[in-house]
Amino acid sequence: MKRGKRYVECAKLVGKDKIFLPEEAFEVCIKTATAKFDETVEVHLRLGVDSRHADQQIRGAVILPNGTGKKVKVLVLARGDQAKAAEEAGADFVGAEEFIARIQNENWMDFNVIVATPDMMGVVSSLGKILGPKGLMPTPKAGTVAVDAAKAVTEVKAGKIEYKLDKTNIMHCSIGKISFGKEKLEENFTVLMQAVAKAKPNNQKGSYFKSCVIGSTMGPGISVNVSKFATAFSESW
């Protein structure tokens, strides 16, 4: 198959079967992001666990120090004082049953994150079949079922992201934009990797971090050596 000039040049920078240290990987990622828009940088992390087992379903949330570079629309399902506080904290949409009806009847999805107070989960559960497949169902592990709705909104707006495994034991997370530059991207990456390292199950055996690839929206995948994150937390495991 004949490749375009851009692809060939990017492939030379990445190399074949080469694994980069994180600081090198982000330099290459920025060099290979040549699109005319501000590309998103993603991390694809394969873990040595079996997500079919409940005790090995790695899932959580972490606040990236430099945010994600994306404008996040937050829907808060709450009542009373919690609803008022969430609105003051900057939530884009605040309400209760009326928004649940819109989602059910109109397939309304003009939001990126849902935060719900615990007392709302009885009615929110009816949206499981709609929100679950889209990864939008509020959960305590992700911090989106929150007793303090205002705090949850503030954290999401500040750059809080959820990390979780898919069915193939791979985690996909956006950690910023190319315009962030190497240092900010590496800072976000480090915070994410530290959180995932701390989430290692006690009964997990063998290599925890199987592989890690980063890349921009239109750029090639770049393999990253993440062994330092495994050794940094080995004592606590």
Sign, CA dihedral 9-211-231-187, equals: positive
Q: How far apart, in whole angstroms, are the C-alpha atoms of residue 127 and residue 147?
A: 20
pLDDT (tens digit, 9 = 90+) per residue, 81-112?
999 999 999 999 999 999 999 999 999 999 99
The pLDDT of 121-133, averaged and rounded, is 93
Share of the chain above pLDDT 70, in %: 92
pLDDT (tens digit, 9 = 90+) per residue, 47-60?
999 888 888 889 89
Structure tokens at 175: 């950690």
Domains and CATH numbers, the chain: 5-67+160-236 (3.30.190.20), 74-158 (3.40.50.790)
* pTM metric for this prediction: 0.84
The pLDDT of 182-192, averaged and rounded, is 97
pLDDT at 221 over 80: yes
Q: What is the CA radius of gyration of the chain?
A: 20
Structure tokens at 203: 């009964």
pLDDT (tens digit, 9 = 90+) per residue, 16-51?
779 999 999 999 999 999 889 999 999 999 999 988
**Full DSSP string of 49-78:** S-TTSGGG--EEEEE-TT--SS---EEEE-
